[in-house]
Structure 1
Amino acid sequence: MTEVVVRPMNGGNGLHSYSKNSTFQRKAIEAAKELINKAIAEKLDIKIFSSSNSFKIADLGCSVGTNTLLAVQNSTQHPEFQVFFNDQASNDFNQLFTSIPPNIPYFAAGVPGSFHRRLFPNNSLHFVHSSCAAQWLSRVPEDVLDKSSPAWNKGRVHYSNSTPQVMKAFEDQFAEDMDNFMKLRAQEIVVGGLMALILPGRLNETPHTEAYLNKAFEQVESSLIDMAKKGIIREEKIDSFNIPIYFASLQEVESAVKRNGCFSIEIMENIPHEKPQPKVMSSTLRAGLEGTIKEHFGDEILDELFDTLVCNKLEESSLITESCKSVGLFVVLKRKPNE
């Protein structure tokens, strides 16, 4: 599998940083707090501590800012534990560790690398957490950039309002990535250990075009198309770019778990996800997409794209998005004994 370079969330602590524009993601973590505490209290096997002096937690796709610290705080239920903060090597780990308060009651370490690859030794983790990260694909599906393919996504950068062939290509890529993710984590998590996943997604059987986040990403696509029509960017640049993201349903996640066979499903449910105001959502999108957009189109378009076009389109489409569902997928899995 060939991975593309997906740029991390905006680092630092500036106006457009992820740390200052991630309340949307934070609310998902807060909504899952009690469920995570309940899962640890009721589902975690105490016997897994017998072979370890410390409880080891990994937060995959931690990004920067206080969201990951909140997630870790929700997961600490052992006298002595070590926390591994993982994200791509280009993540702003300096900002992350600067935000950690003094005298933290755990041992912190950074682990650079993609969670689409192995990160930890066999049977070394007791609890894995990943929030608002696994929706990012390892790569853009090859067919959507292939001019000879029926799934070529010409003139578009997102899948949800495109052809069935394009949607199928993204669906298949998510399934492939999730199968790989499950296989890797099954090697790293001890028998009896837990994995909690929070993914922004959609309700089962809900069309992609009726999911709130897809509507929001469609406004980014529409804004880029407008810029191409005005000659600000070249149309060929649109044709050669797609956002490597996919918003799944619980059914799709459940299918991946069952295909893998190494985990039992302890909790699987939708949690409500509050819709932010258009200006806030525009800033959230910029914090997450700026690096990827800048890499392909250059940084000259960023202010007009997000602060003007995307924000205005979100305002104009607010009546439509009001009827769209915004949900998070919450899943707790337990590592089963090897058969």
Structure 2
Amino acid sequence: MSNNTDTVPESYPMNSGDGSNSYTKNSYSRAAANVVKAKIDDVIPEKLDSTFRLADLGCSVGPNTFITMQNIIDVVQQKYQSQGLASHMPEFQVFFNDHASNDFNTLFASLPPRRSYFATGVPGSFHDQLLPESSLHFVHSSYALQWLSKLPEELLNKNSAAWNKGRVHCASAPDEVAQVYTDQFAKDITTFLDCRPKELVVGGLMVLIMPRIPNGIHCSSAPIGMIFDFLGLCLMDMAKERLISEAQVDTFNLPVYVASPKEMTQLVETNGCFNIERMEITQPGARVDSLSGKALTKHLRAGMEGIISKHFGTKIIDELFDRFSKKQQESFDLLESKYNEGTQLFMVLKHI
């Protein structure tokens, strides 16, 4: 039951529907999930209860969430069959979670007609408890935890040292800006980790897949930081040409924070309710190969168009992402070298 009655976490829905700029058509989550599929296979328990309940937190609009959930269920079924326990196969129930503003219509309209699980929608923020105690065996979250529950207020305070004038992110920003981002992320992950042990059975597993920056590296030197810098530069160029105002740019900040493995390890250890069963740096498929085309721009647009349009209006969107596409192409070689270092963090946590 919800413990947070004072504030509702911000929601940043991905582009809905299934059009050319939709999250459905342009998300990298499917590639990310495919990379770690075999790793998830290894950690699924050998024997489960009569009903296996799993949740995808931050499921967005599909179909990637359906593929991932089916992959997990396939592993469980294969393990039962290999042990001669097919007659004791559990039933499966999947809880699809995202903010209430998520396009659940598109999500459930695209549910596979032939599926081996019961599907349930759970609207709400995963920065709060979503399901009854000890109701889940497996929690999955892919490319969702980097979204902050809210922007730090200091970013918009002209009298604050963290006033983020002329930038849209903490990449390439002063230390004071980076610190408030770091602090907000730590608060959010702490809340997230505090809620999950209430829902997971003892021994239950949680798989987290998220973008990462290397330990000891500033965000501005990582691919995601470079991408956000490009976006900010495009907006500032448009402000200089009076297509938008500088004040609009000054008051716009991306609610995204990309953590290092060290940061995540410290937050999990401080929580004390989980063992880190596995932690690896992976690369989401052939992502580097797509940087030379329009895929990166389409992916960024699918995820960010909603919050950008809300702040600047819809008229600038095509122009903005045309400029972004050209700017990222100018730095393709540098981006490619950074991507080759591995940009994805895979963690398996076990509730103790």
Is TM (by shorter chain) over 0.5? yes
Aligned twin of 2:51: 54
For residues 251 and 207 of structure 1, the distance between their equivalents in structure 2, rounded to whole angstroms, comes to: 13
Aligned twin of 1:85: 96
- Tell me whether 1:33 sits opposite 2:55 in the alignment: no
Aligned twin of 1:182: 193
Amino acid at match of 1:11: S
* Superposition deviation, residue 3 in structure 1: 4.9
| Partner-residue secondary structure (3-state), 2:315 | helix
Confirm or deny: 8 A CA contact 2:274 2:349 kept in the other structure.
Answer: yes
Confirm or deny: 8 A CA contact 1:132 1:199 kept in the other structure.
Answer: yes
For residues 297 and 162 of structure 2, the distance between their equivalents in structure 1, rounded to whole angstroms, comes to: 29
* Superposition deviation, residue 4 in structure 1: 5.0
Amino acid at match of 1:95: T
* Superposition deviation, residue 2 in structure 1: 4.6
For residues 301 and 4 of structure 1, the distance between their equivalents in structure 2, rounded to whole angstroms, comes to: 27
Amino acid at match of 1:74: N
* Superposition deviation, residue 45 in structure 1: 6.9
For residues 9 and 201 of structure 2, the distance between their equivalents in structure 1, rounded to whole angstroms, comes to: 30
Moved more, 315-324 or 180-189: 315-324
Amino acid at match of 2:347: V
- Tell me whether 1:330 sits opposite 2:346 in the alignment: yes
Aligned twin of 2:172: 161
For residues 24 and 336 of structure 2, the distance between their equivalents in structure 1, rounded to whole angstroms, comes to: 26
* Superposition deviation, residue 180 in structure 1: 0.5
| Partner-residue secondary structure (3-state), 1:205 | coil
Amino acid at match of 2:58: G
Instruction: Kindly provide the CA deviation profile for residues 275-324 of structure 1, in whole angstroms up to 9, marking residues without a partner as x.
Output: 23251100100000011011111111111111x11111111111221222
Aligned twin of 1:67: 64
Task: Identify which of 13, 17, 21 aligns with 2:26.
Answer: 21
For residues 261 and 233 of structure 1, the distance between their equivalents in structure 2, rounded to whole angstroms, comes to: 47
Match runs of 1:1-339 below 5 Å? 2-3=7-8, 5-22=10-27, 24-40=28-44, 44=45, 46=47, 49=49, 53-76=50-73, 77-78=76-77, 79=89, 80-273=91-284, 274-275=287-288, 276-277=290-291, 278-306=293-321, 308-325=322-339, 326-336=342-352
TM-score, reference length from structure 2: 0.90
Structure 1 segments unaligned to the other structure (5+ residues):
none
TM-score, reference length from structure 1: 0.93
* Superposition deviation, residue 39 in structure 1: 1.0
Structure 1 runs of 4+ aligned residues shifted over 3 Å read 1-4
Aligned length: 327
Confirm or deny: 8 A CA contact 1:58 1:125 kept in the other structure.
Answer: yes
RMSD over aligned Cα atoms: 1.5
Amino acid at match of 1:279: K
Confirm or deny: 8 A CA contact 1:57 1:125 kept in the other structure.
Answer: yes
| Partner-residue secondary structure (3-state), 1:300 | coil
Percent identity between the aligned chains?
48
Structure 2 segments unaligned to the other structure (5+ residues):
1-5, 78-88
Instruction: Kindly provide the CA deviation profile for residues 4-29 of structure 1, in whole angstroms up to 9, marking residues without a partner as x.
Output: 5332001101111100111x222111
Moved more, 71-80 or 106-115: 71-80
